[in-house]
Amino acid sequence: MHSVKDDVYRKEMEILRILSEHREPIGSTIIRNELSKRGFLLSDRAIRYHLKILEERGLVRGVGVEGRVITDKGLDELRRSLAYERIGSILTRYLSLAYKVTYDLDDERGDVVANVTVVDKDYRKYLVEVLTLLKDRDLLLAPYYKILNGGEEYRGIYAPEDKIIVFTVCSLTLDGILIHSGIPLLLRYGGLVQFIDYRPVRFTELIAYEGTTIPPLEIFVYRRMTSIIRYVNSGSGLIPANLREIPMEAYDEVKEIIDMLHSKGWRGVVALGKPNEPILGIPISMDRFGLSMVGGLVPSAALVEIGLTVDIFAPHLMMPIEDMEAIV
């Protein structure tokens, strides 16, 4: 499980990487822009803080008012950074986030895994309309969201002045709920599920989580392979979804947890398979059953489909669900 110290380390290593890619001194604004491309949404103030720490450790050096450069000691630190920090294991990171979930089914409080979507501030109206539409079609895992206005900061994430950031609940939250209920699971695939007449038919595309360094569902979104809006209007389309395998002994308990979440307004189950039976055309390992959930970045995909420019960071952070507001 990643600690706060681990998160700080990742940010500082990324700052060192950015400095190592520039031969001239650079300032916090350029570093902020580069960090945002890599999934770190930090304010100039936060970046200056990290630079100060790195400078005190002798890893970077200030060059007048021009900015900072990486030192030889900083390059050595970068070379020693662990391979999984440089390359990244999607499956390990996802399961680590799921393990951090503290959401309690009874009092409906606690931390959930949140996705982050960044859009132009002028699109706020469309954003709320899309979220409401997806909720009405049962395409949101949980009916909650939080919007961060331009210039605001939340849990280390900074919204640029001309942007807004929306936080939505990631499907890894359900994995965390299952894990903390004593139910082991294997996150197997991310893909696209074909729906006809509002019924799931089959997976048409699949990418295995094991071994990949790229979030599978983001690939389908950025390649514009989804058709969520068409599904909303006609009942037919391709929806981003993932597939996990669970031991068959846990079937009744998993169904009970899903039913309990359903009673609290949670949705997003594409299909719950039977033990030892294929699910949506995909074979399942012996003595297991499959569970498919819509991907938490469905809202981002829908925004892309209507022509908006978005930046997606999914999954991105832990946040208390009580900091979100309900979609009505």
Q: Is the pLDDT of residue 72 over 60?
A: yes
Measured CA to CA in angstroms, residue 30 lies from 15, 162, 238, 283, 287 at distances of 11, 17, 38, 48, 52
Render pLDDT for 18-27 as a digit per residue (tens, 0 to 9). Answer: 999 888 999 8
How many domains would you assign to the chain? 2
- Do 78 and 161 sit in the same domain of this protein? no
Non-local CB neighbours of 233 within 8 Å, separated by 6+ positions:
none
- Do 316 and 244 sit in the same domain of this protein? yes
**239-257 exposure pattern, b = at least 16 Cβ within 10 A, e = fewer:** bbbbbbbbbeebbeebeeb
> Rounded to an integer, what is the distance from CA 168 to the centroid of its chain?
9
What's the average model confidence in pLDDT over 145-173? 92
Q: Is the pLDDT of residue 188 over 60?
A: yes
Render pLDDT for 171-180 as a digit per residue (tens, 0 to 9). Answer: 999 999 999 9
pLDDT at 40: 80
DSSP bridge pairs for 136 = none
- Do 143 and 223 sit in the same domain of this protein? yes
Give the Cα separation of 305 and 175 in Å (integer).
Answer: 28
What is the pLDDT confidence band of residue 87, given thresholds at 50, 70 and 90? very low
pLDDT at 35: 86
Give the Cα separation of 88 and 45 in Å (integer).
Answer: 27
Measured CA to CA in angstroms, residue 74 lies from 51, 122, 278 at distances of 12, 41, 51
At 321, give phi and psi (nearest 5°): -65, -25
pTM over 0.75: yes
Domain CATH for 112? 3.30.70.1360
- Do 139 and 269 sit in the same domain of this protein? yes
pLDDT at 1: 38
Average the pLDDT over each of 64-68, 203-207, 249-253 and give the range with the smallest value.
Answer: 64-68
Give the Cα separation of 44 and 142 in Å (integer).
Answer: 32
Q: Is the pLDDT of residue 304 over 80?
A: yes
Bigger pLDDT: 95 or 240?
240
Give the Cα separation of 164 and 275 in Å (integer).
Answer: 44
- Do 72 and 200 sit in the same domain of this protein? no
- Do 66 and 200 sit in the same domain of this protein? no
- Do 57 and 107 sit in the same domain of this protein? no
Structure tokens at 58: 């002798």
- Do 96 and 14 sit in the same domain of this protein? no
Give the Cα separation of 251 and 239 in Å (integer).
Answer: 25
What's the average model confidence in pLDDT over 286-314? 92
Instruction: Name the nearest CA neighbour of 9 among 106, 91, 95, 80.
Output: 80
**Percent helix, strand, coil in the chain (nearest 5)?**
40, 30, 35
SS3 readout for 261-317: HHHCCCCCEEEECCCCCCECCECCCCCEEEEEEECCCHHHHHHHHCCCCCEEEEEEE
Average the pLDDT over each of 29-33, 116-120, 225-229 and give the range with the smallest value.
Answer: 29-33
Structure tokens at 226: 């989804």
DSSP bridge pairs for 325 = 145
What is the pLDDT confidence band of residue 59, given thresholds at 50, 70 and 90? very high
Domain CATH for 42? 1.10.10.10
Which residue among 52, 86, 120 closes a domain?
Answer: 86
- Do 237 and 323 sit in the same domain of this protein? yes
Render pLDDT for 193-207 as a digit per residue (tens, 0 to 9). Answer: 999 999 999 999 999
Which residue among 71, 86, 101 closes a domain?
Answer: 86
* CB 326 within 8 Å of CB 266: no
What is the pLDDT confidence band of residue 3, given thresholds at 50, 70 and 90? very low
- Do 297 and 233 sit in the same domain of this protein? yes
- Do 246 and 313 sit in the same domain of this protein? yes
pLDDT at 318: 94
pLDDT at 86: 45
- Domain hosting 31: range is 4-86
Q: Is the pLDDT of residue 84 over 70?
A: no
What's the average model confidence in pLDDT over 108-116? 95
pLDDT at 89: 67
DSSP 101: -
Across all residues in the chain, what is the average pLDDT? 90
- Do 97 and 78 sit in the same domain of this protein? no
CB atoms within 10 A of CB 163: 20
Which residue among 52, 70, 86 closes a domain?
Answer: 86
Q: What percent of the chain has pLDDT over 90?
A: 66
Average the pLDDT over each of 86-95, 169-178, 181-190, 318-327 and give the range with the smallest value.
Answer: 86-95
pLDDT at 6: 62
